[in-house]
Amino acid sequence: MSEYRTESDSMGQMQVPAEAMYGASTARAVENFPVSTLRFPREFIKALGHIKQAAASVNLGLGRLPKNRAELIRKATAEMIEGKWDDQFVLDIFQTGSGTSTNMNANEVLAHRCAQLSSKVSVHPNDDINMGQSSNDVIPTAIHLAATDLLLADLIPALKQLHVELVKKAKANDTVIKIGRTHLMDATPITLGQEISGWARQVELGIQRLESCLPRITELAQGGTAVGTGLNTHAEFGARIAMQLSRDYGIKFNEASNHFEAQAAQDAAVELSGQLKTVAVSLVKVANDVRLLNAGPRCGLGEITVPSVQPGSSIMPGKVNPVIAESLAQVCAQVIGNDAAISFAGASGLLDLNVMLPVIAHNLLESERLLASASRMFAEKCIEGLTANTERCAEQIEWSMSMVTSLAPVIGYDRASKIAKQAVAEGKTVRQLCEEQDVMPLADLKRLLDPATMLHPNR
């Protein structure tokens, strides 16, 4: 048996691997773009399958596609949606900026599968499977479908899981009083619960920011064809596609209100990426706080302990590191970098088409997947098992010179400042020095230096 077969496209003949489901256009692109090992992810291929399936149904309903061809396409696309032919999507992310090669990859795989399903009905990759479509509206639509699906099915649920764990931990530690820190220097007391509640609110606001993008990311470019005019498709095609995809995904999608914007720009993807970056920035803050508070266990802050999940050193026996928080921080670095790539790509809308669609698709979906996985990991393997070191927290409070802050309204800022500096110089606590100097009656001193009275505004 020959290892190759000969197929043709509009540019001539091509040698295609004998067992490949794709055809000449895809084989040509394989040769043209040997750049990386990066390929379109499962969510994107699934979205392409849904688009092709919806198009077949809509074109059948509009009387443009015969029933026998539509039924074959729907059978083939059902398999594609399930992931049966993912190994046939062989093209590099760094390809034609419109993603035309990957659109044709899908068309050819589906046409080949239709031929396998029936030798009596001929299904053409362009005339039938791509009917009423252009790569210029298919690929932007697939980006929005896949990004919305990942957002609602994976990322937001993962962030909600993390939020729930943070809220639980904040409530559980609401009475654990510790020293606050500003500029990494001692400040006035705070509870560990109050500190963690700030982390929880960051995650909660991140969820709200992501949800705020939904009205734009659920607009679909499908129906604009080549440049947004809808040439070679039915006037109702875009609206019907949106309705069908809404049923398929269980998510409300709408036809783009302006097809020229939907294809010439990718602002909705840039907006979503920006909010993903904001979530990443929030999570870095949380991860770094956990690492700082956990530092030690004996020679650092040591106010909390995170679960031990693996040995921390190949040379220092017994060392355990906050590796889950470190992993999360690295994910966030990648997401922030992805946003820079997406921002540059989003600025590459040249006249009537953005020509960096594959890079936007890859980076946007990667950011969503990474944040979802890392958030779930952080919730389960770090926050859930986080414990307070209450004795250490109490020691730090008593030793801090910032305890003098509560005395300032009574004895004045200048005298309080002098006491704080003297306490540091002499290695004494503020309480010890005030007692030695008989600054005020002991009952008043005890009341003012009670850290529990410093946790809220004066009443």
Known catalytic residues? 183, 313
Of the chain, the end-to-end C-alpha distance in Å amounts to 89
144 annotated as a binding-site residue: no
148 annotated as a binding-site residue: no
Q: Which residues are registered as beta bridge partners of 14?
A: 7
319 annotated as a binding-site residue: yes
125 annotated as a binding-site residue: yes
258 annotated as a binding-site residue: no
373 annotated as a binding-site residue: no
57 annotated as a binding-site residue: no
A 10 A CB-CB count for 208 gives 10
101 annotated as a binding-site residue: no
Contacts of 69 (CB under 8 A, 6+ apart): 56, 114, 121, 123, 128
134 annotated as a binding-site residue: yes
124 annotated as a binding-site residue: yes
Contacts of 53 (CB under 8 A, 6+ apart): 73, 74, 77, 78, 81, 248
Q: Is 283 exposed, middle or buried (CB count within 10 Å of its CB: 0-12, 13-18, 19+)?
A: buried
Nearest to 149 by CA among 242, 248, 234, 254: 248
99 annotated as a binding-site residue: yes
98 annotated as a binding-site residue: yes
182 annotated as a binding-site residue: yes
Tell me the residue type at 104. Answer: M
Tell me the residue type at 143. Answer: I
218 annotated as a binding-site residue: no
314 annotated as a binding-site residue: yes
User: 241 near 332, Cβ under 8 Å?
Assistant: no
Residue list, annotated binding site for substrate? 98-100, 124-127, 134-136, 182, 314, 319-321
Residue list, annotated binding site? 98-100, 124-127, 134-136, 182, 314, 319-321
